[in-house]
């Protein structure tokens, strides 16, 4: 392995892949319910237990995992100087999967998944938690880094 063969774009893709893997275990969504207390100060908002990416999604979590692993693999393969010579360049595959993951996260920011609440009689809204923002940043970083790595590979 020769780390001097890596480019900054490869390092960004690899680091963002690791960040995405970590972010998938952080809370992404939670249920915020407004409850009226009789004789109390009015309405209070309770925050339910947060759901991480593994709990909140059915199939999107698999795509996020693949994007994270591909981002890290890009860095490792470039450092090991064993970049595969396929018909479709490996950085292009990483860019496409990273872009797909980014679009899916943006979609879920706009339209969060439905979560069942434990309280009744109040109004409920799905709240976004810190994990989804880290996930968005990481997938955008994977896409940007892989795209930069692709430009460097094509420019040889």
Selection from 6-10, 49-53, 77-81, 100-104 with the highest mean pLDDT: 100-104
Please say whether the dihedral angle defined by the alpha carbons of residues 111, 115, 116 and 121, taken in this order, is positive or negative: negative
Instruction: Label residue 47 by pLDDT band (50, 70, 90).
Output: low
Tell me: the pLDDT tens digits for 51-70? 899 988 889 999 999 999 99
Give the pLDDT score at 81.
Answer: 83
Nearest to 52 by CA among 18, 26, 32: 26
- Mean pLDDT (whole number) for 4-25: 91
Contacts of 114 (CB under 8 A, 6+ apart): 126
pLDDT at 29 over 80: yes
Nearest to 28 by CA among 103, 126, 125: 126
Tell me: the pLDDT tens digits for 86-137? 889 999 999 999 999 999 999 999 998 877 655 544 556 788 999 999 999 9
Helix axes 130-154, 90-110, angle to 10 degrees: 150
Q: 29: which strand partners? A: 51, 128
Instruction: Label residue 156 by pLDDT band (50, 70, 90).
Output: very low
Give the pLDDT score at 42.
Answer: 63
Give the pLDDT score at 48.
Answer: 67
Question: Under a CB-based contact definition with an 8 Å cutoff, are residues 138 and 25 in contact?
Answer: no
- Phi, psi dihedrals of residue 125, rounded to the nearest 5°: -140, 140
Q: Rounded to 10 degrees, what is the CA torsion of 139, 141, 142, 147?
A: 130
Q: How far is CA 85 from the centre of its chain?
A: 28
Q: Lowest mean pLDDT of 18-27, 35-44, 145-154, name the range.
A: 35-44
């Amino acid at each position: 392995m020769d780390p001097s063969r890596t480019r900054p774009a490869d390092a960004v893709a690899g680091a963002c892949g690791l960040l995405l893997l970590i972010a998938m275990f952080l809370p992404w969504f939670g249920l915020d319910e407004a409850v009226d207390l009789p004789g109390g100060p009015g309405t209070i908002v309770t925050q339910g237990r947060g759901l991480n990416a593994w709990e909140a999604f059915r199939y999107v979590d698999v795509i996020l995992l693949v994007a994270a692993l591909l981002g890290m693999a890009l860095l490792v393969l470039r450092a090991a100087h064993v970049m595969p010579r396929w018909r479709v360049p490996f950085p292009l595959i990483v860019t496409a999967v990273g872009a797909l993951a980014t679009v899916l996260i943006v979609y879920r920011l706009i339209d969060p998944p439905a979560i069942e609440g434990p309280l009744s009689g109040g109004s409920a809204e799905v709240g976004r938690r810190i994990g989804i923002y880290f996930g968005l940043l990481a997938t955008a970083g994977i896409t940007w880094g892989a795209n930069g790595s692709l430009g460097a590979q094509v420019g040889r």
